[in-house]
Structures are given as structure tokens and as C-alpha cells.
Amino acid sequence: MAFTKIIHRISNTEYRIPNIEYRISNTAHRIPNSQHQPTRIKMAEEKLPTRAENFAEWYNQLVLKSELADYAPVKGCMVVRPYGWALWENITAALDKRFKETGHVNAAFPMLIPMSFFEKEKEHVEGFAPELAVVTHGGGSELEEPLAVRPTSETIIGHMYSKWIKSWRDLPVLINQWGSVLRWEMRTKLFLRTAEFYWQEGHTAHADKDEALEEMYRMLDVYTDFAVNEAALPVLKGYKSETERFAGAQITTSIEGMMQDKRALQSATSHYFGTNFAKAFEIQFLNKSNALQFAETTSWGLSTRIVGAIVMTHGDDQGLVLPPRLAPIQVVIVPIFKNDDEKSKVMEVAERVFAELKAAGMRVKVDDRDNVSSGFKFNDWEMRGVPVRLEVGPKDVEKGSVALARRDKPGREGKSFVSQAGLASTVSGLLVEIQDALLKRATDFRDANIHDPKSYDELKKVLENGWAFSWWCESKECEAKVKEDTKATTRNIPLDQPEGHGTCVVCGKPAKKKVYFAKAY
């Protein structure tokens, strides 16, 4: 990228900032006595490639055109745009509520970590060394000790916990942090893998193993509950294999989702560290018997990657399809008119409907742009995944009706005409229906694409276009062979296993556990 081009890009960005007026109606459709301009939204142009044509390109263009995110001038970094951030805020709100309900508190730890901290836990340093970004200079001179930009915070938090934890009375410590981390990545993709990403990382310390394990499972359940009930993502929870485990963990659990291209996406993780980090950072306390003891620690995280999961699970060839519970805008009202006379009548109804839905707690927006046609607006809001579109035209004013279009069923099938009377309950009912329909559709798709191959040859065939749920002897050799032959990896081993045992689909030896194999992001 030439220097002049960068300048252009930067200055263009600056130029457009005042023009981007993204607002959700929770803040109000019109703010009286404020000097804000009429709502202006950058238009989503052109059509997307279809998912069948080119899934990767469909995803890239969709994320850009729906204005979830844009590329930053630094390779591998993304800018989360207001619409994408509004979605993320709804995600964080739903999770944060659950964290608080399970007894956690939020705090903030520094972004810069002394390099020496990473060397204290052997596996941790081996796992993260290749992805570290390191600060070597500050204030114009070279630093005595280089500082790593955090790729995750186990080390710095371990250091602080050793200062804070002295007695069994100090435990448990249940802290969560919302922030971003940086991992140097070779190949990046918006939301799914960027150098810097936003996330939440919980770090807890406990007096004994059972309590720490309970915490790990509890948070995995929190993620599952969030994914299923808020994001409508039918995730599968289980244990990671030794090779797929977090660097430094004794047990790693995850939730895994199936995208529409049938690749797996790890959507959140929850780890049990035993006393690994406690020993590395000397997190010790006096127990009730006055004996010095190492604490048991856990960590668990969910990142902006979940936005990618939502896009790739629910999106269609028209654009995003957002689950109503997380959608920044749940209902968009499109007024339709030919002249000023019609406009005033239509707008009166539109504003009244807006107020009713808003009062009923829905996130609503009136699209009163007058420089684009209504047909354009339909496509535009479909691109952005708004669950319900409500059209108000002159005919509706006469008949006391509105047109309702549900995003999960494009075209005529999803469109109906309903009375203005009782509209708030009609629409809120429809939002619930859409939420349920998205979960059901994704669950059916997932179940239809998980297979149970009877032989290794069949396994290889199945993994070309789906997942396998197979008996596995848990050896690294068999896992590596599958990866070598098919590029698929073990995703996780379900917590709840079927009865009995079988034979490993790879080597034929006795196997106690069934595992999901899939190609993963």
C-alpha cells in the first residue's frame, strides 16, 4: 500500500465520521432540542455472492457491506463499526449479566506484561511465544525489560493473585475482565481471526480442585446458555483433546458451532489449570489447618469471534440474519409515500407505531431517508439482518393496517398484512417466533450434517462435507492421522457420553469416548 493511498484512506475515514449517524431507537428516533442531523446511513450497494458460489467471499463482503466492521490500516486489525459494536454491546450485556449472577466482579489489568512472566509456565510460553508482539522502546529509549502486549492475561493476573491471596478466607477470587488482546496472526479474517480482538476473560482462584472444576463447568454452561438462548447458536459442549488444549491448562472445555459451510467454529472456552499457574506465580494460602497450599485456578473466555459465528450460522444470500434478542435494531419501519400529502399521513402513523413499539421495550427505527426508494430500503435492511420490517403506506393508513415482513423468511412467504390495533403484541410475538425459528433451523442443519461413519474410509468421505461423531481411542497418533488425511481435527469430546464403548474409527482398538471430528476455522 503506497503512502499516498494510506493518506487517502485515512482522510477519507475522517471525512466520513460525521456522516455516519447510526442510531438505534432506544436512544430515540428524534432527539428534541439537539442539533443532530437527519439520520444518514451509508447505503449497502450491490448484491452479495451466494453462499453456494463462494462462502468465504460471501462472508467477507457481508461483514463489510452490513457495516459490522472494516479493515484497519494495520494488517490483521479490524475496526468494529458502530453497527457491529452495537451487536457486540448486546452480547456483552447478556453475558455480563450472567457473570454477575454467578458471583463474578469485573476489573481491569494492564495491557503490557513483563516478558519474564511468560517464561514462568513452560507450556504457556511455548504456546504463546510465536504470537507475541513485544514493546522494546518507550519514551525514546530502549527498555530494560521488553514488555509483551497481552495475548491473554493468565500471567499478569497470576502475579497479582499471589499478592492478594494469603488465606483460605480470601478465596474464591472470581474476577472477569472485558478488554482486548493481541496475537500476531499470519492469516486473518474479520471477526474470526484478527490480530487484536475484543473479548472477556474470567480468571478465578479456588481453595480446592472440586470447586475449581465446578467453576469451569459452570462457566461452560453460562456460555452454552448464552449461545443457545440469546444467539440462537446450537453449540456442542465438550472436552478438548490434549493437542487442542489451551497452553498451560490441565483441562480445556469448549462450545463448538457448525457454520453453514459445515466447518466448526470454537465459540468459547473454559479451562481448569490445576495448580500450574499457582506454582508458576506462587499463589499460595494458609488453609484451615494452618498449612501452606497452592490455589486451584481457572480461566474462561468468549470473543468477538462469536459475531462471526452469528453471521455464518444465520446469514442468507440476502445478507445478515440477526437473532432478535441481540439485534441492534429489532424492527425497522419503512414509510411509503408519493407526495407531501401522503407523507404527512404516513409519517403520522409511522411515528405512532414507533412510539408504541418503543414503549413496549422493542428496539425500533424509522427509516425516513428521502433520497432512496423504498425498494432499496427493503434490501438495505435485509442486508443488515433486522428481524422485522414494518411497512406503512397510504393504503395502510386507509385500512388501519401495516405490512409485516420477517427476515428469516425472505420474499412473499415472510410478508403479511396485519392490523395496527394490538401491533406491539403482534410484533413482540413475532420476534419470539423468529428467535425460536432461527435456533430450530440451525439445530436441524447441524443434526443433518453430523454423521456416524462405520469405517475409516467412510470417515474420510464424511469429513469432506460434514462432521463425524465417532469412537476414538484418544491417541495422538490417530488424531494426527485424521488431520493429515482430511485436514479435520478433533473438535471436542462431549461431556455426556453415550452408553458403553466401541472401537476407534481410525485404528480399530477399543475406545471409551466418542469425539466430534470436523474441519475448523
Partner RNA sequence: CGGGGUGUGGCGCAGUUGGCAGCGCACCGCGUUUGGGACGCGGGGGUCGUGGGUUCAAAUCCCUCCACCCCGACCA
Stretch touching RNA by CB under 7 A, among 27-35, 114-122, 158-166, 378-386? 378-386
Rounded Cα distance, 285 and 204, in Å = 14
What is the nearest approach in angstroms of RNA to the Cβ of residue 337?
Answer: 6
Contact string 131-170 vs RNA (x = CB under 7 A): x---------------------------------------
Closest approach, Cβ 375 to RNA, in A, equals: 3
Element containing residue 143 per DSSP (H, E): strand 141-149
DSSP letter (8 states) at residue 289: T
Q: Which of 14, 45, 142, 457 binds RNA (CB under 7 A)?
A: 45
374 binds RNA (CB under 7 A): yes
- Smaller CB distance to RNA: residue 285 or 381? 381
Q: Looking at residues 384 to 423 of the shown chain, list those that interact with RNA (rule: CB under 7 A).
A: 389, 391-397, 402-403, 405, 410-411, 415
Which residue pairs from 44-47 have beta carbons closer than 8 angstroms and sit at least 24 positions apart in sequence?
44/319, 44/379, 44/380, 44/383, 44/384
Under the binding rule (CB under 7 A), the answer on residue 494 touching RNA is no
Q: Is 312 in the site for RNA (CB under 7 A)?
A: no
Give phi and psi for 418, each to the nearest 5.
-130, 165
Out of 155, 303, 435, 470, name the contact with RNA by CB under 7 A: 303
- Residue nearer to RNA on the CB measure, 125 or 171: 125
Judged by CB under 7 A, the residue of 117, 226, 246, 456 near RNA is: 246
How many of the chain's residues bind RNA (CB under 7 A)? 72
> CB under 8 Å to 169, separation ≥6 — which residues?
none
| 26 versus 379: smaller Cβ distance to RNA | 379
User: Which of 25, 241 has the CB closer to RNA?
Assistant: 241
Which one, 295 or 380, has the nearer CB to RNA? Answer: 380
Least distance in Å: CB of 131 to RNA? 6
Cell 469448549 locates to: 254
Within 56-75, the residues that bind RNA by CB under 7 A are 56, 75
CB atoms within 10 A of CB 24: 19
Give the residue, chosen from 379, 420, 426, 443, that forms a contact with RNA under the rule CB under 7 A. Answer: 379
Choosing from 21, 47, 209, 359, the residue that interacts with RNA (CB under 7 A) is 47
Q: How far is the CB of 68 from RNA (least distance, A)?
A: 14
d(CA 125, CA 129): 5
Using the minimum distance from each CB to RNA, give the nearer residue, 198 or 472.
198
By CB atoms closer than 10 A (0-12, 13-18, 19+), residue 391 is buried
Instruction: Give dist(CA 67, CA 278) in Å, integer.
Output: 43
By beta-carbon proximity to RNA, the closer residue of 101 and 370 is: 370
Q: Least Å distance between CB 353 and RNA?
A: 12
**C-alpha cell recorded at residue 111:** 495491557
* Per-residue DSSP letter, 129: G
Single out the residue of 98, 299, 312, 90 nearest to residue 191, CA to CA: 312
Pairing of strands 105-106, 173-182: parallel
- In this chain, which of 61, 224, 253, 266 binds RNA, going by CB under 7 A? 266
CB closer to RNA, 268 vs 353:
268
Which residue in the set 83, 88, 118, 197 belongs to the binding site for RNA (CB under 7 A)?
Answer: 197
Give me the least distance between CB of 383 and RNA, in Å please: 6
Cis amide prior to 172 (ω within 30 degrees): yes
Task: Encode 47-97 in three state secondary structure.
Answer: CCCCCCCCHHHHHHHHHHHCCCEEECCCCCCEEECHHHHHHHHHHHHHHHH
- Spell out, one character per residue from 210 to 239, where the chain touches RNA: x when CB under 7 A holds, - when not: ------------------------------
**Nearest alpha-carbon partner for 94 in 435, 387, 356, 390:** 435
Which position among 372, 432, 448, 495 is part of the footprint of RNA (CB under 7 A)?
372
- CA-nearest of 340, 379, 387 to 363 is 387
Among positions 106-135, residues that touch RNA (CB under 7 A) are 127, 130-131
